[in-house]
């Protein structure tokens, strides 16, 4: 979620909305800009609605170019062209609407309105704008709006912890209260994208996030009795940053904090079976010791074993058995290119079998992040879904370090480890894990707690073109913040040098977060060839860490504890 600086005008707007607790104010109505530049808009509903007093269940808005009738028989200018909204409604009827008129669609009860195949509560307004396109606004009560925000800012499917979702609900509510009216010149309060808060309407609502909104109804975070600028981002990389180092605005409650709640307790594991070479473990778990068993494991017709170990005969057998639909001019050349055989060296049978299983992806590796482990059952986050598995007592376990896989007969996990595993049903037969270098941060459950990205010289020059320094020669960090994010960085090029602040540098380079270090790659002449960036986190890193909130909730934190961890010195107040 990106955030803009807060202007004094916003404080004045907020003052009109915010009342101290104890007032009789009810939940306010908000106007959300769903789109601001739509060439067409399609609306439909199960209930009838009206457009210019014409009843319909569908409406397609299109901006067309009309010609002034008085312009006939002469050379035209652009002034003679007029943009006019037309609306096609049921039965092929066409309604012409004045450009500046707002078409409002209201339905009875809680019936949803579909706008471009997305369903919304409340009312919809469509009107032409100065860009000769359509602005679409969804007007609804603030609490209904939050029902379509919380599950899109913190997925209740992936991060299914109620207290974390409550913290998200309070932060999102506080944000909209604080920033109400920031886009009033465009005809709405705030937008529906990550430039404000991601809002996807009624169709995205989920029970757990709805519960979080309902149970925190009206609650906002305040500092000195005023709504705070409740910034948040996905993953802070172990520590948040001072707001002034990212957004040039010093706020006493948006200061750097370590993303840790409780020091994790190591969770012991052990296995009764171990193989020094992980490739042997793969074959043992697969039950593959010859070509016939490999064919059976891959669901292929069992053709038995090769007639001889002669390389040409072996190549022909493997190609026909394992790649029957591939046409080649030379089976040996094909299998050499695939890395299964070698035209010069004798490869052991076990290695050939492993290469076949690996090349055909027959082992069906899955990947997940460890959420919990009780000695028998482990919960893993797999493709955004938490899933429970039983770890077989004799499952071979390996720790991955670089390209090496070290056999582990026993050890411990803390949660957040990235795991590659083979499972049949819910039973894990083999597991390879990477040690959790984010230990003991509460956001260690994020796949983006640690990352690295490579940029070539060409990519760097293209990314830094806007700072007008020519070809890059060097980069050095001048100052880092408390979280080690580079607050000020000097970039040196062939035609000058510039000092760039953290947020702009991250945006220019297209990096996930501004918390990074880097290595510059050079040739023998000292010219830059590229750079490798080693980073932590995802987002701007100011305010609440969303995955950190989830990690804290997993460890028993309440939503109030979560909010007061990331927003220093705040109080929670019930607005209505």
Residue-wise pLDDT tens for the chain (576 aa)? 544 433 333 443 444 455 554 444 689 999 999 999 999 999 999 999 999 999 999 999 999 987 766 666 778 777 777 888 999 999 999 999 987 899 999 987 778 999 999 999 999 999 999 899 999 999 999 999 999 999 999 999 999 999 999 999 999 999 999 999 999 999 999 999 999 999 999 999 999 999 999 999 999 999 999 999 999 999 999 999 999 999 989 999 999 999 999 988 899 999 999 999 999 999 999 999 999 999 999 999 999 999 998 999 999 999 999 999 999 999 999 999 999 999 888 899 999 999 999 999 999 999 999 999 999 999 999 998 999 999 999 999 999 999 999 999 999 999 999 999 999 999 999 999 998 877 789 999 998 888 999 999 999 999 999 999 999 999 999 999 999 999 999 999 999 999 999 999 999 999 999 999 999 999 999 999 999 999 999 999 999 999 999 999 999 999 999 999 999 999 999 999
How far is it, in rounded angstroms, from Cα 462 to Cα 374? 50
Q: What are phi and psi of 409, to 5 degrees?
A: -80, -20
- Does the global pTM surpass 0.85? yes
Q: Which residues contact 108 (CB under 8 A, 6 or more apart)?
A: 47
Query: What is d(CA 50, CA 43) in angstroms, rounded to the nearest whole number?
Result: 12
Peptide bond into 236 cis (omega under 30): no
Q: Given CA atoms 13, 16, 17, 22 in this order, what sign does their dihedral have?
A: positive
What is the chain's Cα-based Rg?
30
| Helix 559-566 / helix 162-179 crossing angle, nearest 10 deg | 50
Residue 104 CA, chain-centre distance (Å), reads 34
SS3 content of the chain, % helix, strand, coil (to 5): 25, 35, 40
Q: What does residue 439 show for φ and ψ, rounded to 5 degrees?
A: -50, 135
């Amino acid at each position: 979620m990106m955030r803009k600086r807060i202007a004094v005008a916003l404080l004045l707007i907020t003052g009109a909305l915010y009342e101290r607790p104890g007032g009789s104010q009810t939940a306010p109505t908000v106007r959300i800009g769903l789109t601001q530049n739509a060439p067409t808009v399609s609306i439909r509903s199960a209930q009838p609605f009206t457009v210019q007093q014409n009843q319909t269940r569908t409406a397609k808005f299109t901006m067309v170019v009309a010609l002034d009738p008085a312009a006939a028989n002469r050379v035209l200018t652009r002034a003679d062209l007029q943009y006019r909204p037309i609306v096609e409604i049921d039965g092929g009827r066409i309604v012409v609407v004045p450009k500046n008129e707002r078409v409002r669609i209201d339905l009875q009860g809680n019936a949803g309105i579909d706008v471009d195949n997305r369903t919304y509560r409340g009312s919809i307004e469509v009107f032409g704008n100065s860009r000769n396109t359509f602005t679409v606004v969804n007007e609804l009560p603030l609490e209904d709006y939050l029902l379509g925000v919380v599950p899109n800012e913190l997925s209740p499917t992936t991060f299914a912890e109620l207290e974390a979702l409550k913290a998200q609900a309070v932060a999102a509510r506080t944000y909209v209260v604080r920033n109400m009216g920031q886009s009033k010149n465009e005809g709405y309060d705030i937008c529906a994208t990550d430039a404000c808060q991601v809002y996807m309407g009624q169709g995205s609502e989920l029970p757990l996030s709805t519960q979080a909104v309902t149970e925190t109804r009206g609650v906002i975070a305040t500092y000195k009795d005023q709504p705070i600028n409740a910034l948040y981002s996905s993953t802070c990389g172990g520590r948040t940053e001072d707001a002034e180092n990212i957004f040039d605005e010093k706020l006493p409650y948006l200061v750097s904090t370590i993303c840790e709640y409780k020091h994790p307790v190591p969770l012991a594991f052990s296995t009764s079976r171990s193989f020094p070479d992980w490739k042997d473990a793969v074959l043992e778990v697969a039950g593959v010791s010859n070509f016939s068993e490999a064919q059976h494991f891959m669901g292929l017709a069992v053709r038995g074993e090769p007639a001889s170990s002669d390389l040409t005969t072996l190549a022909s057998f493997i190609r026909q058995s394992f790649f029957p639909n591939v046409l080649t001019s030379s089976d040996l050349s094909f299998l050499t290119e695939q890395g299964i055989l070698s035209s010069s060296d004798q490869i052991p049978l076990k290695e050939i079998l492993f290469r076949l299983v690996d090349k055909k992806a027959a082992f069906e590796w899955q990947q997940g992040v460890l959420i919990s482990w009780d000695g028998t059952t482990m919960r893993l986050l797999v493709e955004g879904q938490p899933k429970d598995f039983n770890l077989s007592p004799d499952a071979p376990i390996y720790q991955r370090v670089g390209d090496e896989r070290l056999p582990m007969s026993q050890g411990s996990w803390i949660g957040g480890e990235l795991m590659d595993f083979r499972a049949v049903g819910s039973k894990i037969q083999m597991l390879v894990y990477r040690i959790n270098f984010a230990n003991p941060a509460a956001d260690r459950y994020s796949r983006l707690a640690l990352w690295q990205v490579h940029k070539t010289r060409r990519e760097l020059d293209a990314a830094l073109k806007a700072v007008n320094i020519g070809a890059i020669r060097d980069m050095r960090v001048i100052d880092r913040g408390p979280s080690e994010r580079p607050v000020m960085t000097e970039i040196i090029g062939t035609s000058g040098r510039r000092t760039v602040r953290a947020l702009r540098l991250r945006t220019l380079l297209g990096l996930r977060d501004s918390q990074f270090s880097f290595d510059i790659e050079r040739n023998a002449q000292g010219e830059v060839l590229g750079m490798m960036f080693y980073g932590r986190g995802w987002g701007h890193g100011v305010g609440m860490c969303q995955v950190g909130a989830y990690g804290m909730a997993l460890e028993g934190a309440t939503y109030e504890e979560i909010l007061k961890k990331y927003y220093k010195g705040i109080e929670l107040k019930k607005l209505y």
